[in-house]
């Protein structure tokens, strides 16, 4: 934890501080939130065998009964685990802190960011699992998108067709981690297609038009993989893959989404599923701050996503 010398400065600016934090999480953008009243429960799955897509004889002769058809109804379950972290604010640190340092508020921000970090890592792990999500792995480095002779659109068309065939939904979201985004927007085959737009300068909105999706998300949130006490080693949480998805505007009955995030919003003391608790520990002459969130992220319709693994070298 910070000592007194770290939070008290002889001269401190009141309007400037430096904070290394993630600000590009996309979990909430691609896993719609489902507010739930209970920590665990079931949800229904309609017609997993796609009986609705099967042609059935519907001619009925006079006086005869109609051909009887039906669909299967199955279920799955969720369990909102408790995700919580806490930190100690010693009295000495609080009493000696100069503006704009606010030890307790800073701890809440810090703990919240770490919980959101784990949420992002969890969802990235689910959607980058090639055993669960339809995928293509570009194992041949000569075929990766940072090669001038390769056209990324060819691979996207394969991904798009797979999502449409499986779900009858047109994918509307493309995830390009920052390094992949840089490679795509500088790929000669791509720049040739949109060379005349915006004087040759283009970004996510132009790529969205090119790839025929509603939006291109460029996550640049990182995880520090270095052991504690060593210099940071930062890696993009979403790696060097690309992800094409159909994401509904919101979760609801009879909707399809690759992943959902079930949030227990009625947990005691929570606000929108997040709770912050503080208490005194007189023996330590300190206050303790805890941030807590109950949620469960699940793959529910993985074929509504398509992963292009190792898109760049």
| Coil, helix or strand at residue 12 | coil
Handedness of CA 257, 261, 265, 267 (dihedral sign): positive
pLDDT number for residue 9: 45
- Listed in sequence order, the residues at least 6 apart from 222 whose beta carbon sits closer than 8 Å to its beta carbon are 22, 234, 235, 236, 237
For the ranges 60-69, 237-246, 293-302, the lowest mean pLDDT is seen at: 60-69
Is 258:304 a contact under the CB 8 Å cutoff?
yes
Radius of gyration (C-alpha) of the chain in whole angstroms: 25
pTM: 0.88
pLDDT number for residue 90: 94
Say if residue 299's pLDDT is above 60.
yes
**Between 232 and 20, the higher pLDDT residue:** 232
Is 247:30 a contact under the CB 8 Å cutoff?
yes
**Segment 114-138 mean pLDDT:** 96
**Segment 236-265 mean pLDDT:** 94
pLDDT number for residue 75: 87
Say if residue 298's pLDDT is above 90.
yes
**Between 237 and 10, the higher pLDDT residue:** 237
Domain 24-37+82-309 fold: phage-related protein like fold (3.90.1690)
Written as one string, the DSSP assignment of 187-212 is -HHHHHHTTTGGGG---HHHHHHHTT
Percent of the chain's residues with pLDDT above 90: 63
Written as one string, the DSSP assignment of 85-143 is EEEEEEHHHHHHPPTT--HHHHHHHHHHHHHHHHHHHHHHHHHT-TTTS-EEE---GGG
pLDDT number for residue 12: 47
Say if residue 141's pLDDT is above 80.
yes
Residue 271 DSSP one-character state: B
- In which band, very low, low, confident or very high, does the pLDDT at 152 lie, cut at 50, 70 and 90? very high
pLDDT number for residue 47: 75
Q: Tell me, rounded to whole angstroms, the distance of Cα 149 from its chain centroid.
A: 31
pLDDT number for residue 135: 96
- In which band, very low, low, confident or very high, does the pLDDT at 10 lie, cut at 50, 70 and 90? very low
- In which band, very low, low, confident or very high, does the pLDDT at 292 lie, cut at 50, 70 and 90? very high
Domain limits of the chain?
Answer: 24-37+82-309
Is 30:173 a contact under the CB 8 Å cutoff?
yes
**Between 254 and 262, the higher pLDDT residue:** 262
- In which band, very low, low, confident or very high, does the pLDDT at 40 lie, cut at 50, 70 and 90? very high
pLDDT number for residue 257: 96
Say if residue 79's pLDDT is above 80.
yes
């Amino acid at each position: 934890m910070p000592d007194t010398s770290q939070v008290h400065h002889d001269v401190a600016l009141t309007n400037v501080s430096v904070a290394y934090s993630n600000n590009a999480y996309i979990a909430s953008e691609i896993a719609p939130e489902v507010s739930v009243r209970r920590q665990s429960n079931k949800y229904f799955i309609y017609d997993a065998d796609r009986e609705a897509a099967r042609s059935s004889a519907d001619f009925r002769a006079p006086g005869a009964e109609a051909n009887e058809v039906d669909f299967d109804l199955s279920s799955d379950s969720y369990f909102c685990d408790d995700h919580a972290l806490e930190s100690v604010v010693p009295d000495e640190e609080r009493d000696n802190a100069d503006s704009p340092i606010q030890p307790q508020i800073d701890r809440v921000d810090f703990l919240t960011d770490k919980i959101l970090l784990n949420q992002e890592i969890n969802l990235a792990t689910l959607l980058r699992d090639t055993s669960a999500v339809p995928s293509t792995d570009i194992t041949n480095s000569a075929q990766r998108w940072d090669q001038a002779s390769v056209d990324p659109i060819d691979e996207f068309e394969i991904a798009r067709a797979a999502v449409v065939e499986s779900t009858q939904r047109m994918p509307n979201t493309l995830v390009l981690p920052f390094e992949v985004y840089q490679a795509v927007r500088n790929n000669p085959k791509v720049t040739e297609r949109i060379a005349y737009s915006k004087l040759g300068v283009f970004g996510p909105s132009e790529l969205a038009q090119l790839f025929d999706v509603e939006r291109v998300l460029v996550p640049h949130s990182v995880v520090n993989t270095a052991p504690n006490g060593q210099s940071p080693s930062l890696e993009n949480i979403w790696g060097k893959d690309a992800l094409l998805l159909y994401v509904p505007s919101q979760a609801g009955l009879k909707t399809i989404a690759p992943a959902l995030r079930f949030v227990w919003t009625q947990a005691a003391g929570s606000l929108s599923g997040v709770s912050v608790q503080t208490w005194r520990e007189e023996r330590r002459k300190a206050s303790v701050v805890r941030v807590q969130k109950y949620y469960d992220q699940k793959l529910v319709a993985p074929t509504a996503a398509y992963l292009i693994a190792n898109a760049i070298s």
